[in-house]
Amino acid sequence: MKLGIIGLPGAGKTTIFNALTRGDAPTGQSVGGRFDVLTAVVDVHDERVDILTEMFQPKKTTFARITYTDVAGLKKGAGQSGGMSGPLLNHLAGLDGFVHVVRAFENEMAPHPDGSVDAARDLEVLDTEFLLSDLVVVEKRLEKLRHGLERGAFKHNKAEAQAELKLFEQLNEALSAERPLRDLDLTDEQLKSLRGFGLLTLKPVMVVINIGDDQDEINLQNDHKKTLITNLRGKLEMELAQLSAESDEDSDDGASLTMFMDEYGVTELSLDKAIRLSYDLMGLQSFFTVGEDEVRAWTVARGATAVTAAAAIHTDLAKGFIRAETVAYDDLIAAGGLSQARTAGKLRQEGKTYIVQDGDVISVKFNL
């Protein structure tokens, strides 16, 4: 999963990036609207992986991972005048979703570029930029389809062109009404046909309201599908995340981290909270493979079949799929091991169409 951290200048994108990645990238710097990006790959810490590692004592443990990118260069007007720049649009189009940071904190040393702090206004501004960018793409495609049908250019696939025209008219209607495309109930086939167009408002969005250390949480209205809103105390969370990174190497820092979290009433680091929300937002879940060589977490969409899970491990497993030996995580832990789970009748033989459940421990049997 690859998520882009976006926001208007001064929103605190890099502060949130550091909080989510335990990084120390410089904050408060302007790139003058130039497209720029920072990238970090983060392990998805899952205590179930730790427990499975303790049980199987593997040579290697591998967590699932999320890639976060801190995207600079977004500003008012980016979606107008023919759309966003090519490199910026290409990067945004290649992301699975967005973490949209909106500013709600006051800072006299770094005043808001618009002269006042208004989280709802800033959220609407960048949403509008993405809507306008998509509208440029959709209108261009509509013009090409209409012109082509009038000239008979689609005589060999006229029905497909007419269906696409109808779809893009639906997209145009939504965008013109200032509705993001993720609000539409599009079929999987329609979504697949749109992948190459880089439509930004199709992507899920987690809105992060960046509040001050002592500031109350802010409620923003959310009427859109595939959208989550959460509050984070960005500066505080960045400091806690950096202390967390240091605590991995020093037990004294670990005690300090616990003390500071207790002092500020923080029960969960923003990194863990954002990952949990990201999985919910993207409709993802984890399954595990175990053994003496490796314990590993894998990520698949909720509703994925056993053969899809096999393909996530390796395409050859999907090609030669025979069956998936499966046990629920809780059943495995309660039994005390795979052989005990088999004796207890908890280790099942599942076929290609089995719907994988979160926490399943799977061993794929295959033959090529």
CA atoms within 13 A on the CB side of 169: 8
Tell me how far the alpha carbon of residue 329 is from its chain's centroid: 24
Question: Helix, strand, or coil here: 49?
Answer: helix
Q: Is residue 21 part of a domain?
A: no
* pLDDT for res 36: 80
Q: Is residue 354 part of a domain?
A: yes
Tokens coding 306: 């056993």
Cα end-to-end distance, the chain, whole Å: 30
Share in percent of the chain as helix, strand, coil (round to 5): 45, 20, 35
Q: How far is 245 from 68, CA to CA, in rounded Å?
A: 17
Return the ∠ at Cα 330 (arms to 324 and 334), rounded to 5°: 110
Nearest Cα to Cα of residue 184 among 196, 197, 162, 199 = 199
Number of domains in the chain: 1
Q: Is residue 36 part of a domain?
A: no
Provide the whole-model pTM. Answer: 0.87
CB of 8 within 8 A of CB of 125? yes
CB of 358 within 8 A of CB of 286? yes
Complete edge-to-edge strand list for the sheet that includes strand 294-301: 60-62, 294-301, 284-289, 361-366, 321-327, 348-350
Tokens coding 35: 């497209």
Nearest Cα to Cα of residue 27 among 109, 121, 118 = 109
Q: Is residue 147 part of a domain?
A: no
Q: How far is 29 from 14, CA to CA, in rounded Å?
A: 9
Q: How far is 33 from 291, CA to CA, in rounded Å?
A: 49
Q: How far is 237 from 243, CA to CA, in rounded Å?
A: 10
List, as own/partner pairs, every contact residues 245-248 make where C-beta atoms lie below 8 angstroms and the sequence separation is at least 24, other chains included: 245/22
Would you give the DSSP letter of residue 291?
S
Q: Is residue 121 part of a domain?
A: no
User: For position 321, which CATH number holds?
Assistant: 3.10.20.30
Which domain, by its residues, includes 350?
A: 303-366
Q: Is residue 87 part of a domain?
A: no
Residue partners of 165: CB distance under 8 A and separation at least 6:
142, 145, 146, 149
Residue partners of 107: CB distance under 8 A and separation at least 6:
none
Complete edge-to-edge strand list for the sheet that includes strand 2-6: 36-43, 65-72, 2-6, 97-103, 205-210, 227-232
pLDDT in tens, the chain (368 residues): 999 999 998 999 999 999 999 888 887 655 445 668 899 999 998 999 999 999 999 999 999 999 999 988 677 765 555 557 788 889 999 999 999 999 999 988 888 888 899 999 999 998 999 999 999 999 999 999 999 998 888 878 889 999 999 999 999 999 999 999 999 999 999 999 999 999 999 999 999 999 998 899 999 988 899 999 999 999 988 988 888 877 665 555 556 777 877 877 777 878 888 888 999 999 999 999 999 999 999 999 999 999 999 999 999 999 999 999 999 999 999 999 999 999 999 999 999 999 999 999 999 999 98
Q: How far is 43 from 187, CA to CA, in rounded Å?
A: 32
User: 265: left (phi > 0), else alpha (psi -120 to 50), else beta?
Assistant: left
Q: Is residue 224 part of a domain?
A: no
Q: Is residue 307 part of a domain?
A: yes
